């Protein structure tokens, strides 16, 4: 494969400004990660330690193999909401006894590890990642069940308006845990404290349960609920203590003496699974990129209207900066080609402008070819959408754009999406956005995801409003429209930001651009725990 040349001028003023802006955004990101890592705050963490308990991130660090990485999923969930940054759960992929596992942990320092709308989304996403990629599922359980805070005190109407109505959705986790077991994907629960209601069903549905003496409790209803429901005065240990479950009910399979003993048992359970990957192994013989990944900091402007060559990104993430480009002279606004990344063969699609008929056709053919040779696909988003206009419609943009979306929809090789810049409208779908089920989706701090750009959205609404006034024969209020347009533009701008999307669990996390190569490599490794097999069966498309 040829080595990609770089024409990036790292001495240019625009590069330096972009780099400064990116470092500023990364500083904000670091501060938010620190907030997430702090859980419920110092007082809550100190209270845990006084009871001989570790914070959730320490528990996870101890269960992982020494010096192995942890790819956290949606670490900034619930930012700009009524809940703490991180949402009270930690979800991610880590290595235990040389086995990649999906690990979920309740953070007991945040409202006793209770479920809320944001961490429930994280939990369901974790279960999906485990199922699709065939990863053993490890859950560190300590939960008070559903967060009832919205129902207590304050303004009842405000509580109703909040995102607290997640009861119906929360029951799906029971089904998903059982489904994993049915698919022969092991599920292991380590119960670190009191686990009530939905928290009790997590070990109830698991293949293996580890409880801690004088610390774990599992019950559908705690003593207060039992008193209210039946009148019985039940003590905690008799009702759901670890000793009782290990010797009487049979819910507990292993009885640990303390938290470190429970973590040791968890590692032993994973060790005896004799787990084997079903996908291909990477080649151990690969080179680092020729071009410096540090350059990724200055590549994308805050003003996403400023173009850049997506090949410059590719040159800094693939092995040896080698890239075999497919149809380089046809449909040039979409770059397609083959490379390897940490020894894994990949096909890459990256945007260099709007999607035209030719670039859409090229994409559909390239996706088919990658499916024929069982090659995973990496989508690098910087897309305003499919081109619009009379001439383009007559030349078949709807027809050919649909071919591309058809190919993306029916492709069965793993897809990994990295949103580096804009990802608007149907362009997001054509580039395997979240709605199209990529195995993983990550964003850069420069990312924006929306139906269309904020200015375009406000402008469209103005045109529609003016036309409506004309049809009704009434004057169009320009001043009112200007106020409305400003409000729409502000609202659309705020909600289009990648940070907002990642806080709503619309992706798997916002990453430092310099980490893109490593993050994709970890995602590919997880994908290869399952069979990697393409399809030759695609839906009918118009010729």
How far, in Å, CA of 143 to CA of 151, rounded? 18
Q: Do 407 and 363 contact (CB within 8 A), yes or no?
A: yes
Write the DSSP string, 170-195: HTHHHHHHHHHHHTT--EEEEE-SEE
How far, in Å, CA of 497 to CA of 510, rounded? 11
Q: What is the pLDDT of residue 485?
A: 76
Q: What is the pLDDT of residue 100?
A: 98
How far, in Å, CA of 214 to CA of 255, rounded? 10
Judging by beta carbons within 10 Å of its beta carbon (0-12, 13-18, 19+), is residue 71 exposed, middle or buried?
buried
Q: Do 461 and 488 contact (CB within 8 A), yes or no?
A: yes
Strand segments (E) across 130-221: 137-141, 187-191, 194-196, 208-212, 217-219
What value does the CA radius of gyration of the chain take, rounded to a whole number of Å?
Answer: 25
Quick one: residue 40, left, alpha or beta (phi over 0 = left, psi -120 to 50 = alpha)? Answer: alpha
Instruction: Look up residue 542 and give its DSSP letter.
Output: -
What are the φ/ψ torsions at residue 62 (nearest 5 degrees)? -75, -30
Q: What is the pLDDT of residue 124?
A: 95
Write the DSSP string, 244-285: HIIIII---SEEESSHHHHHHHHHHHHHHT-----SPPPPS-
Distance, first Cα to last Cα, the chain: 33
Q: What is the pLDDT of residue 301?
A: 96
Indicate the pTM of the whole model: 0.92
For 102-119, give one letter per residue: b (16+ CB within 10 A) or e: bbbbbbbbbbbbbbbbbb
Q: What is the pLDDT of residue 152?
A: 40
User: Which residue bears the tokens 């599922």?
Assistant: 137
Q: Which of 103, 135, 53, 54 is nearest to 266 (CA)?
A: 103
Q: Which of 146, 97, 139, 138 is nearest to 120 (CA)?
A: 146
How far, in Å, CA of 327 to CA of 196, rounded? 58
How far, in Å, CA of 335 to CA of 328, rounded? 7
Strand segments (E) across 19-106: 70-72, 89-96, 99-106
Q: What is the pLDDT of residue 150?
A: 45
The residue ranges of the chain whose pLDDT is under 50 are 150-154, 156, 159-161, 163-165
How far, in Å, CA of 515 to CA of 518, rounded? 5
């Amino acid at each position: 494969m040829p080595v990609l040349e770089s024409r990036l001028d790292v001495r240019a003023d625009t590069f330096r400004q972009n780099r400064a802006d990116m470092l500023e955004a990364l500083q904000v990101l670091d501060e938010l990660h620190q907030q997430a890592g702090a859980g419920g705050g110092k007082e809550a963490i100190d209270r845990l330690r006084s009871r001989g308990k570790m914070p959730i991130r320490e528990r996870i660090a101890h269960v992982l193999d020494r010096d192995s990485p942890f790819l956290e999923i949606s670490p900034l969930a619930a930012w700009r909401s009524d809940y703490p940054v991180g949402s009270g759960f930690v979800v991610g992929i880590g290595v235990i006894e040389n086995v990649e596992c999906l690990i979920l942990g309740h953070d007991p320092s945040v409202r006793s590890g209770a479920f809320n709308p944001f961490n429930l989304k994280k939990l369901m996403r974790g279960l999906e990642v485990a199922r699709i990629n065939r990863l053993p599922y490890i859950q560190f359980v300590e939960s008070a069940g559903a967060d009832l805070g919205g129902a207590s005190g304050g303004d009842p109407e405000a509580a109703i308006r909040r995102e607290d109505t997640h009861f119906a959705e929360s029951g799906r986790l029971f089904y998903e845990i059982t489904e994993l077991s049915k698919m022969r994907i092991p599920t292991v629960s380590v119960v670190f404290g009191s686990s009530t209601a939905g928290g009790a069903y997590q070990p109830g549905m698991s293949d293996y349960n580890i409880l801690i003496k004088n610390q774990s409790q599992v019950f559908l209803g705690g003593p207060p609920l039992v008193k209210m429901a039946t009148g019985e005065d039940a003590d905690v240990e008799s009702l759901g203590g670890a000793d009782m479950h290990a010797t009487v009910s049979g819910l507990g399979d292993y009885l640990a003496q303390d938290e470190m003993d429970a973590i040791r048992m968890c590692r032993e359970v994973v060790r005896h699974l004799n787990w084997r990957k079903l996908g291909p192994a990477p080649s151990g013989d690969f080179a680092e990129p020729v071009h410096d990944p540090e350059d990724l900091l200055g590549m994308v402007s805050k003003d996403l209207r400023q173009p850049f060559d997506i090949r410059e990104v590719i040159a800094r993430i693939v092995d040896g900066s080698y890239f075999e480009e497919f149809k380089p002279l046809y449909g040039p606004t979409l770059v397609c080609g083959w490379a390897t990344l940490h020894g894994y063969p990949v096909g890459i699609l990256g945007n260099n402008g709007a999607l035209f008929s030719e670039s859409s056709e090229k994409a559909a053919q390239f996706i088919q070819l990658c499916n024929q040779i069982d090659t995973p696909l990496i989508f690098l988003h910087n897309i305003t959408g499919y081109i619009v206009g009379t001439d383009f419609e007559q030349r078949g943009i709807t027809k050919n754009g649909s071919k591309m979306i058809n190919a993306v929809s029916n492709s069965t090789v793993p897809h990994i999406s990295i949103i580096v810049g804009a990802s608007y409208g149907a362009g997001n779908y054509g580039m395997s956005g979240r709605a199209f089920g990529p195995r993983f989706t990550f964003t850069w701090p420069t990312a924006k995801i929306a139906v269309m750009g904020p200015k375009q959205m406000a402008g469209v609404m103005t045109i529609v409003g003016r036309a409506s006034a004309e049809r009704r024969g009434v004057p169009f209020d320009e001043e009112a429209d200007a106020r409305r347009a400003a409000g729409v533009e502000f609202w659309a701008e705020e909600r289009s930001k990648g940070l907002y999307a990642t806080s709503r669990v619309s992706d798997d996390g916002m990453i430092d651009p310099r980490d893109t190569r490593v993050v994709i490599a970890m995602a590919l490794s997880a994908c290869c725990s399952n069979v990697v097999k393409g399809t030759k069966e695609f839906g009918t498309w118009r010729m």
